[in-house]
Amino acid sequence: MKRLIVGIDIGGTGTKLGLVDSLGEVIIEEKISTTGEHTFAEFITTLSKIVKQWLLAYPDYEIAGVGVGAPGGNFYTGCITDASNLPWKGSLPLVELLTAELNVPVVLSNDANAATMGEMIFGAAKGMKDFVMITLGTGLGSGIVTGGRLLIGAESLAAELGHVLIKGKGGGRACKCGRKGCLETYVSATGIKRTYLHLLASQGEQSRLSAVPFDQLEAKDIAQAALDGDEIAKKAFVTTGKILGRQLANMVSIVNPEAVFLFGGLASAGDLIFEPTKKYMDANMLNIYKAEVKILPSQLEGANAAIVGAASLVYQYEQDSKEVLA
């Protein structure tokens, strides 16, 4: 019997789900509104109905499990906890409710960990045992694989690289977390906008983006301006890569990865972000690391990346189960 895994990516507005085969292909998918249901239990019922219909439509397949990526998703408790951008508050028992409906193993983690497992099982990190994934969106998420397994931490809260403080003596940009100087206030779609504005303010040079209101400015506009030769936009990318590269040199000292993957919107700026990041990572790296640490684009980009990543979490569950039985 062929194996399929259900991948579910829960986001603030939309939730995507799909059936993923053993090659990482999504054979059927659907998208529902995250905010369309009144209660979390109703939301789970809606998801379950879709999956049950798929099971009827694919009788020759066995469902090996369900992997779910969600903000605040806790690997150990199976609950989504205090996700500020979801419509439900408190601790949401996702694994308990979905298991009761579908009667297969359900694995929950956050979206950055889902992307990380996706890269290892189906993407460019296939065969790697030690790597770091950086997801660049509105904020900066990350996932770490060491010795072939996801670094989860004592409370399922590891790999919050976006909230590493990068200023030696405190200070730095205000972060939504309430502190100052977090890496994601510099390195993210929002961070590069702030850097661009800072450069515009301090350098007084002309920039073709000066006419765009700040709340309409997007990271991709800065990328396009940089490609077109705008000096301030180019400097914004160099500054961003310099800060990221320096922090990646520190990450190398802690987890000694074979490669670092960049995923998400800002990563699609290509050389604009990869070149300064690599340059400053190498320049700041401790000399004992002789093997080159590669900085690579994720190969999970695309509409289905989140579904495939979520489905991949089931592989971590299967690895753990095998060891418990050993």
Residues that bind a copy of itself (CB under 8 A): 82, 129-130, 144, 146-147, 149, 151-161, 163-168, 170, 172, 177-179, 181, 246, 249-251, 253-258, 284, 286-291, 322-323, 325-326
Across the beta sheet with 61-69, what order do the strands follow? Answer: 26-33, 14-20, 2-10, 61-69, 106-109
164 or 212: whose CB is closer to a copy of itself? 164
Rounded CA-CA distance 9/14 in Å is 9
Q: Which residues does 189 contact at the CB level (< 8 Å), separation at least 6?
A: 136, 137, 138, 218, 219, 265, 266
CB atoms under 10 Å from CB of 20, counted, come to 29
Half-sphere exposure of residue 9, counting CA atoms within 13 Å on the CB side? 25
> Which C-beta is closer to a copy of itself: that of 126 or that of 220?
126
- Nearer CB in complex with a copy of itself: 28/259: 259
Q: How far is the CB of 84 from a copy of itself (least distance, A)?
A: 11
Nearer to a copy of itself, 52 or 89 (CB): 89
Least distance in Å: CB of 106 to a copy of itself?
20
- Closest to a copy of itself by CB, 15 vs 156, is 156
Closest distance between a copy of itself and the C-beta of residue 177, in Å? Answer: 6
Spatial contact of 83 and 71, defined as CB atoms under 8 Å apart: yes
The tally of CA atoms less than 13 A away on the side-chain side of residue 71 is: 18
To the nearest whole angstrom, how small is the minimum distance from the Cβ of residue 283 to a copy of itself? 9
By beta-carbon proximity to a copy of itself, the closer residue of 47 and 136 is: 136
Complex with a copy of itself: residue 67 or 141, whichever CB lies closer: 141
Q: Which is nearer to a copy of itself, 211 or 322 (CB)?
A: 322
Q: Report in angstroms how near the CB of residue 116 gets to a copy of itself at its nearest.
A: 14
Instruction: In angstroms, give the least distance from the CB of 10 to a copy of itself.
Output: 18
